[in-house]
A and B are shown apart, each in its own frame.
Chain A
Amino acid sequence: MKTDQRRARFEALAPAVIEAVRRYLARRTDPATADDVLSETLLICWRRLDEMPAEHLPWAYGVARNCLANAERSHRRQARLFARISVLDPPPATTDGPEPPDEELATAIGRLRDEDAELLRLWAWEELAPAEIAVTLGITANAASIRLHRAKQRLRDELRKTGGTAGHEESTEGRRP
């Protein structure tokens, strides 16, 4: 029966997709949004199972990315309202929690464009090759390759800048012949 085959195929590939997409979402959003977006991503994978390529993770990341963008669009509306409220009625100043271990990197990434930062995350965190990044982002492999190369270069430049002001040892590395 076709339905049974479909179910069997989905049941076989879903656990790996669930784990990968959960991590992808845990790195990019809050737990509640991650739960919602995971459910929706799975639903789309189930419905479009026939379109899923053999290398299904990059494709699934692409679906999750779009679902997350949708979810965040509606969050942003709430956030704008919240921002207005906090300007009118600011909460008492609090001290930050524990410092993130690599403040310098966070700052450097923060200065990059969103597209570049996401390319680097897909490369380093999801461990995707340029061709897989291309599937996730819906661009050509060539474009992914070039953009990734440039994003790395920009991150290096940013790190050098921040490292330079902090007297970090890496500030000299780039100038070596």
Chain B
Amino acid sequence: MTDDDLRSRLRNADPAPSPAPLPPDRVARLLEKTMSADVATPTTHTPTAPRRRLLPVLAAAALLLIAGAGWLIFRPDQPIESNLLTAPATASTPAVAPVLLAAPAGGSAKCMEPQAAHLATNADFAFAGTVTTIDKNDVVTLSVSKVYKGTQTTLVQVDQAPNTSETMLGSGTFEVGKSYLVAANEGTIMICGYSGESDIPGLLDLFEQAF
């Protein structure tokens, strides 16, 4: 019996010679579930079914934790805060005080596909605006054109930490003269596709769907 005979005889006994391929939506779900897992912490045990259903929830919780940590680290210091508050007053605008936001550090967060429902439930402040100035302390001032959710204001200031990058969709950071759509949760900008240049495809749709 030659190798070929042996191989074809074995092949005839193949219990799964040509199984139907998985439907594309199941492949997509499997991929999404897999890629929403944290890359940094490998585990070796077999996840059981209920835990796998929990995975997106856990990922979201981890994101919130990271965002919270970002806020603790990058929240504006005392002196900056007083500057921010006095600046509009000297410009003699009787309008409301600017809303202060912090930009989280990029890089450490792993993102899931942005979803309007997530944006709607998690953002407590969302607006469209144009960057007017960025001062030497990396404080970004935006003039607000539309508030989607939260405090009605005309001015927002973001304390952009020096190393912040890749947090905004588009060029990655705020640039003078460009327009942005920004969502925030408890004073910290939501990254992972929820904030960015307003001409990024899909971002405006996401905002309009959510609010």
A1 within 8 A of B: yes
B13 within 8 A of A: yes
Instruction: Enumerate chain B residues within 8 angstroms of A100, measured Cβ to Cβ.
Output: 13
B42 and A106 contacting across the interface, CB-CB below 8 Å: no
A48 within 8 A of B: yes
Q: Which of A54-105 contact B (CB under 8 A)?
A: 67, 70-71, 74, 100-102, 105
Contact of A1 among B11, B14, B44, B166 (CB under 8 A): B166
B21 within 8 A of A: yes
With the chains together, A10 CA to B36 CA distance in Å?
A: 12
Contacts A10-B35, A43-B34, A48-B42; A3 near B27 (Cβ below 8 A): no
A129 within 8 A of B: no
A114 within 8 A of B: no
B91 within 8 A of A: no
With the chains together, A159 CA to B6 CA distance in Å?
A: 10
Instruction: Enumerate chain A residues within 8 angstroms of B39, measured Cβ to Cβ.
Output: 6, 46-47
Return the chain A residue nearest B8 by Cβ. Answer: A124
B9 within 8 A of A: yes
- The total of chain A residues at the interface (CB under 8 A) is 47
A170 within 8 A of B: yes
B110 within 8 A of A: yes
Contact of A102 among B7, B12, B37 (CB under 8 A): B12
With the chains together, A167 CA to B19 CA distance in Å?
A: 35
Return the chain B residue nearest A159 by Cβ. Answer: B1
Contact of A124 among B10, B46, B47, B52 (CB under 8 A): B10
Instruction: Enumerate chain A residues within 8 angstroms of B27, measured Cβ to Cβ.
Output: 14-15, 18
Q: Is the interface of A mostly helix, strand, loop or mixed?
A: helix
Instruction: Enumerate chain B residues within 8 angstroms of A71, measured Cβ to Cβ.
Output: 46
State how many angstroms separate the Cβ of A111 from the closest Cβ of chain B: 15
A46 and B34 contacting across the interface, CB-CB below 8 Å: yes
A10 and B31 contacting across the interface, CB-CB below 8 Å: yes
Contacts A22-B19, A27-B15; A124 near B7 (Cβ below 8 A): yes
With the chains together, A132 CA to B123 CA distance in Å?
A: 50
A173 and B10 contacting across the interface, CB-CB below 8 Å: no
State how many angstroms separate the Cβ of A139 from the closest Cβ of chain B: 20
Instruction: Enumerate chain A residues within 8 angstroms of B11, measured Cβ to Cβ.
Output: 124-125
With the chains together, A23 CA to B49 CA distance in Å?
A: 21
State how many angstroms separate the Cβ of B165 from the closest Cβ of chain A: 10
Contacts A18-B27, A26-B19; A120 near B10 (Cβ below 8 A): yes
A105 and B9 contacting across the interface, CB-CB below 8 Å: yes
B22 within 8 A of A: yes
A18 and B10 contacting across the interface, CB-CB below 8 Å: no
B22 and A152 contacting across the interface, CB-CB below 8 Å: no
A36 within 8 A of B: yes
> What are 24 of the A-B contact pairs (CB < 8 Å)?
A6-B39, A11-B35, A14-B27, A18-B30, A19-B21, A22-B22, A23-B19, A36-B46, A37-B46, A38-B30, A39-B34, A39-B47, A39-B52, A40-B47, A43-B37, A47-B37, A70-B46, A71-B46, A100-B13, A102-B13, A105-B9, A124-B7, A124-B14, A125-B14
4 shortest interchain CB distances as A-B pairs: A124-B10, A26-B16, A42-B34, A27-B16
Question: A: which residues have CB within 8 A of B?
Answer: 1, 3, 6-7, 10-11, 14-15, 18-19, 22-23, 26-27, 36-40, 42-48, 67, 70-71, 74, 100-102, 105-106, 120-121, 123-125, 152, 155-156, 159, 170, 173-174
